[in-house]
Structure 1
Amino acid sequence: MFAKIISLQGNQVTLQLDDELNMDQLQRFANGKQPTAELIIQDERLISPDQRKKIFALIHDVSQFTGYDERDTEMELKYRYYAKAGADSFSMSNCDMTTANQFLTFVLDFCFEWDIPFRTKLWDSIPTDYHLAVQCLRYRKCVICGKPAEIAHYTAVGNRKRNHTDHRKFSFMSLCHDHHFQQHQMGVKSFVIKYHIRPVRLSDDDLIRLHIMTRKRMDEIDEEATSGYD
């Protein structure tokens, strides 16, 4: 069902539905629960020249790494994207900006997963993108330059023993040795401002996967916190 947005005030949205809808229909859809709806805004903006340039640059890099023709590489990546995202086919000549950005992120994820090097100029949007910053941490890539990286805390752990620290409370950055050293020289606040970095919190699963914490240690910390209130 489709609708037009009539007005918007804070978190209150007034819609005009293309078809009539009554409460009985809503109750049937909701199976007796409180009816809810998902609002998806149609993106009418066309892919930008910068998005198109970055996507084709990535396709070129994947093609160079794999040895496949660029056209074949583009089609293979699109087929993988369609299968994963359940998306319809699109053209890079006239798709919308949202599709272009989602496909760009998908191709970057592919490069991370298969350790495919890509051009440094494509790293400019990664430091402020949460998903891609987490990918840098997962695959140990410097969020600034893409070189092999170390995991750095945004807030220093200090003298606390790391295996006794609840890292769920900390934010992280993925930095190569040179940039990690520069961060300590400059001070973390000046460093993140200079490189426009947004440090990120990691999920429990990522903390375990990256060997920063164990599930056992998380449970122990939670039990200690709970027992403190008894």
Structure 2
Amino acid sequence: MRGDEMLFGKLTAIRGNQVVVKLDDELNQYKLAKWANGKQPTVQLLMDDGRTISPDQRKKVFAMLNDMALYTGYTPTEMEDEMKFLYYSHTGAEKFSMADCSVNQANKFLTFLLDFCFKLGVPFKTRTWDMIPDSYPKAMQCLRHRQCVICGKLHSDIDHFTPVGRGSRKLVDHRKLYFECLCRAHHQERHQLGAKSFIEKYHIRPIKLSEDDLIALHIMTRKRMDEIDEGMI
């Protein structure tokens, strides 16, 4: 079964040699007929044994590849081949299959895909955005690439979670402050709800930026950091 034919669901019942699966998405009858080519479809049931790639990991990888294919014009199968080639070239990893690779390999490939999308500004569908693993540094990547941490919208604003007062921001030591990246709509909502209620609603965690990131994002200069460290006004 190819990547663009992959369906995911939950096993809900077993009756002898028959199983009942509730699909995560509504079945597209047109695609099913196309895949089957006029024949009765044959399906493969893969169970998570805890040692190889899990169905949840596979689902996230293919969701990413489908979003990338939609953005680039490739088919999902072509996108998988292209990204695997880049992954092998960048990491020196041996060839692997999404059907039976290790959990660790699946995590590394998913991280590679996420890094690639953030770097090149590939937009995520809302559902794919919500699938990004908690272990991935999404908040930091959003700040570095100006994507809303809530919805993934590009060209979003870097927001000070920590109030900076009404004085000149040039005089503030931003190394001590916490940040989040928000689109205009979510930025306005944050001000309406208040910071505490907003982060509780969306379960986000504002973070500090490194000195290099502060400089790259034009929030502070190295000169200003040195002046603060030397006690200069």
Distance 1:85 1:133, change over 3 A: farther
**Per-residue CA distance 1:1-54 (angstroms, 9 max, x = gap):** xxxxxxxxxxxxxxxxxxxxxxxxxxxxxxxxxxxxxxxxxxx63222222112
Q: Which residue of 2 aligns with 1:140?
A: 146
**2:162 is equivalent to residue 159 of structure 1:** no
- The within-5 A match list for 1:1-230 is 45-124=51-130, 126=132, 128-129=134-135, 131-148=137-154, 149-224=156-231
Amino acid at match of 1:77: M
In 2, the alpha carbon distance for the partners of 1:146 and 1:169 equals 26
In 1, the alpha carbon distance for the partners of 2:202 and 2:220 equals 28
**Per-residue CA distance 1:194-218 (angstroms, 9 max, x = gap):** 1110212111111111110011111
In 2, the alpha carbon distance for the partners of 1:125 and 1:72 equals 22
- The answer as to whether partners of 2:158 and 2:179 remain within 8 angstroms in 1 is yes
SS at match of 1:224: coil
Amino acid at match of 1:195: Y
Distance 1:62 1:127, change over 3 A: closer
SS at match of 2:230: helix
Amino acid at match of 1:188: A
Distance 1:68 1:112, change over 3 A: same
Q: CA deviation at 1:174?
A: 0.6
Unaligned runs of 5+ in 1: 1-43
In 2, the alpha carbon distance for the partners of 1:193 and 1:204 equals 28
In 2, the alpha carbon distance for the partners of 1:127 and 1:153 equals 25
In 2, the alpha carbon distance for the partners of 1:195 and 1:209 equals 27
Distance 1:80 1:57, change over 3 A: same
Distance 1:128 1:160, change over 3 A: farther
Distance 1:125 1:133, change over 3 A: farther
In 2, the alpha carbon distance for the partners of 1:45 and 1:106 equals 21
In 1, the alpha carbon distance for the partners of 2:115 and 2:213 equals 16
In 2, the alpha carbon distance for the partners of 1:92 and 1:130 equals 20
Amino acid at match of 2:77: R
Q: CA deviation at 1:178?
A: 0.9
- Percent identity between matched residues is 57
- State the aligned residue count: 183
- The TM-score, its normalising length taken from structure 2, stands at 0.72
- The TM-score, its normalising length taken from structure 1, stands at 0.72
Q: CA RMSD in A?
A: 2.1
Unaligned runs of 5+ in 2: 1-49
- The answer as to whether partners of 1:112 and 1:135 remain within 8 angstroms in 2 is yes
In 2, the alpha carbon distance for the partners of 1:176 and 1:129 equals 23
SS at match of 1:183: helix
Q: CA deviation at 1:183?
A: 0.9
- The answer as to whether partners of 2:170 and 2:220 remain within 8 angstroms in 1 is yes
Amino acid at match of 1:169: K
